Structure 1
């Protein structure tokens, strides 16, 4: 790794609250105002939007034996006082449906498979109850190196969150830094493409909540830097994508062959759970696990205005420029199919004096983190992306998503447009449709009808008397 990358401020190196032993004697952990501003400031943190009242009308179903009841206010939940303070700092007042049920289920030590709309607060739904449960026992459970023994130290995480992409890993780590604030728990993130030595140094300082991509996790276990024998909670975020991306064998290897504590709670979260993936996922959960379904499986939100327009391939560039110029300036995410298309469209927009940047799998991790930072800060409010950022990325005030190229499946479409309208906020999704998009036409029409959106003339022939999705009939 070259000198510039060794000095780069990786997402995994961000500041977190560092507990000191003297805090125990004095009975409280002092606030860190600079860190508090970074973690909870209005510019850095997506919090609840205007349309939370709509969540009350969303169907919620918990399947399984003796599910615990949900709660309606965070102050009523069985949570540690430190966690309740962090929830208040994050300006979370009303729990979303996935939070009010998931937190109760996890607090009751039940395994869970949860499916909820994208942008519905799933990350908080697993971080809040897992970290809170450990806060009260942290002194007995956490493991730290003795002075001078850092290089031989194995970190022993109590919570392990597996995520499919580096970007999602960084984002969950940011949330972990929020919810572990002023506690004994020390969060860390490990993912490929970033400096491994810096990540090892952070692990050597102690790691209680670990967010990881599967490949880098296996590498660090094999190097003797991570020991999973003390694990209390295993969480798979975007579980369907993890298995779809071919991580099943790696996950099985981690769970079955790397010394992971068998007496743990396992949780899976995703916006979509295709039926065959759900069957596969059951292998990771205890027989008495609960299934939480919020809204239709794979559903999207009516807070997103969806516009589908017919645009021929050779007209797309000009049309996207017109679309960007016709809207008030706002943070816009444009999805394309290929890495080459991402670079090409980014260059075209730049030449058109539009402030854009791009992100895709061939970019170095440093370039990917820089592009996301420029997008978040608003210096480049137009981000051209391949599907690498489609899953789970939560950026404040994304008002407009454009499908320059239509995705091949309705699940991917739902994930892409879900980058806007995060946690109850409103958003716009524009999609370019032509003869190459007909594979998604029937499901797309069903979704537009379900979400009470305008169906364009060229899709009206797909409207039938039965506009229900197969999953609506699936009574898992």
Structure 2
């Protein structure tokens, strides 16, 4: 394998130097606090996590009064007939699944969202052209102070859908005093997603001098602890590390009036439900709650019923069935396990043009082995998974984002929340254990309306997923290989309608 001017020896020397300097290890277990630590599944499942959190009798607490309804419809929106609002929702594939009373009409532009000038100035500086569908309907609901559930595919603009109303919410509240916890709490399943949310907080909260901190395991506690004690308006956190800080008394959640659960389905997939419930029990019950998810399984539905203190407005953007963006070209090849290495080599030689390529492996060991072989063959690949130390993971993502190493090999750690907007190719070297993960993996390309391509190696041992995969391909008007259809015919079960 060869990659033009790529200097393999120089790069290998650089990696060895970085490893010595940083003390990298592929078997780090992360720091204290669990959530977001070095290894997913380790301390997350600890039954003891959060046992020292005391129950709060909210009737005896003296709580700071707060406001949560700031929405003043733009004159153009106020004058919009309900029939036109319904047409706009239909055009944007927005469905109001449930609501008590009237739902605020969707907006068409940033100006119609009735954000203050300081928010609009940041939007203009960011260069966004128009709101995404989840923002079109989500902003009026969130600004109205209503609890809401938003279901939309990854890469749909959910972060700004909850963040910009959150900034307006913060600026309307009394300022923090010594000993206060945050006003906005965002819980995320992985530190990568938490870090990306913090980047947006930094960008859009800067003009309002809104402070934030990002709490996750796998790194020393000291900086996060100091920022919490000094007081921040926004905390973005993975569950385990946040519980650690709550138990130690470094912060409290009695000022949280705007609670966000991002990628709720992913948090439940990773076994976070007990921790999420314990954390929410520490948040005042009259809060505003916003839950965001890419899918709507029964366990997420139950969590929404339990955590939303009012009947939430439930909106869905796009189909409720498993689906991928139609801007993604999907190619599935049925192969033998023994042929995958050579097939990958031929595919990379065909598509490599300097663009970013994301390759998914099912296991950490498999990802490390594949990366070593690719680098030996001259391909500029780096690997990321849950056993890597946090410093290495951050460095690897930076190299990938900047295009210095245009091939990233990853486990499903990166299938959600990896916000790299210009990934041109996704390659499923190993097919995942469920089709939902296939949809999220493929969604790493073709983001925000861009086009992309996904290549998948499908082996006979995954035949039970063939029917579901075929349904996803057909919904997106993609071709279905004859070999895949034969596997589906011969496989029993595995298709959830």
TM class by shorter-chain length? 0.7 to 0.9
Please report how far the alpha carbon of residue 440 of structure 1 lies from its aligned counterpart in structure 2 after TM superposition: 1.5
Q: Map of 1:268-307 to 2, 5 A cutoff? A: 268-297=291-320, 298-307=322-331
Q: What secondary structure sits across from 1:200 in the alignment?
A: helix
Is this contact kept in 2: 1:403–1:432, CA < 8 A? yes
Please report how far the alpha carbon of residue 363 of structure 1 lies from its aligned counterpart in structure 2 after TM superposition: 0.7
Other-structure match for 2:155: 119
Is this contact kept in 2: 1:185–1:207, CA < 8 A? yes
2:134 matched to 1:98?
Answer: yes
Give the structure with higher Rg (CA). Answer: 2
Structure 1 segments unaligned to the other structure (5+ residues): 6-11, 13-53, 146-153, 464-468, 472-476
Picking from 370, 375, 378, the partner of 2:403 is 378
Question: In 2, distance between residues paired with 1:348 and 1:56?
Answer: 49
Q: What secondary structure sits across from 1:141 in the alignment?
A: coil
Scaled by the length of structure 1, the TM-score of the pair is 0.81
Question: In 2, distance between residues paired with 1:58 and 1:452?
Answer: 19
Please report how far the alpha carbon of residue 470 of structure 1 lies from its aligned counterpart in structure 2 after TM superposition: 6.8
Structure 2 segments unaligned to the other structure (5+ residues): 1-19, 24-35, 37-87, 490-494
Please report how far the alpha carbon of residue 221 of structure 1 lies from its aligned counterpart in structure 2 after TM superposition: 1.1
Scaled by the length of structure 2, the TM-score of the pair is 0.78
Q: What secondary structure sits across from 2:331 in the alignment?
A: strand
Other-structure match for 1:368: 393
In structure 2, the CA distance between the partners of 1:349 and 1:4, relative to structure 1 (3 Å rule), is closer
Please report how far the alpha carbon of residue 4 of structure 1 lies from its aligned counterpart in structure 2 after TM superposition: 5.5
CA RMSD across the alignment: 2.2
Please report how far the alpha carbon of residue 114 of structure 1 lies from its aligned counterpart in structure 2 after TM superposition: 0.8
Other-structure match for 1:351: 376
Once the two structures are superposed, what CA deviation does each residue of 1:142-177 show, in whole Å capped at 9, x if it has no partner? 34x5xxxxxxxx451111000011111111111111
Once the two structures are superposed, what CA deviation does each residue of 1:84-131 show, in whole Å capped at 9, x if it has no partner? 111111112211110111111101111111111221111111111111
In structure 2, the CA distance between the partners of 1:311 and 1:3, relative to structure 1 (3 Å rule), is closer
Is this contact kept in 2: 1:358–1:385, CA < 8 A? yes
Is this contact kept in 2: 1:190–1:217, CA < 8 A? yes
Aligned structure 1 segments of 4 or more residues deviating by more than 4 angstroms: 2-5, 54-58
Question: In 2, distance between residues paired with 1:280 and 1:211?
Answer: 20
Picking from 34, 45, 59, the partner of 2:93 is 59
Please report how far the alpha carbon of residue 280 of structure 1 lies from its aligned counterpart in structure 2 after TM superposition: 3.3
Question: In 2, distance between residues paired with 1:470 and 1:70?
Answer: 33
Question: In 2, distance between residues paired with 1:155 and 1:351?
Answer: 53
Question: In 1, distance between residues paired with 2:345 and 2:209?
Answer: 50
Picking from 338, 341, 349, the partner of 1:325 is 349
Please report how far the alpha carbon of residue 392 of structure 1 lies from its aligned counterpart in structure 2 after TM superposition: 1.6
Other-structure match for 1:128: 164
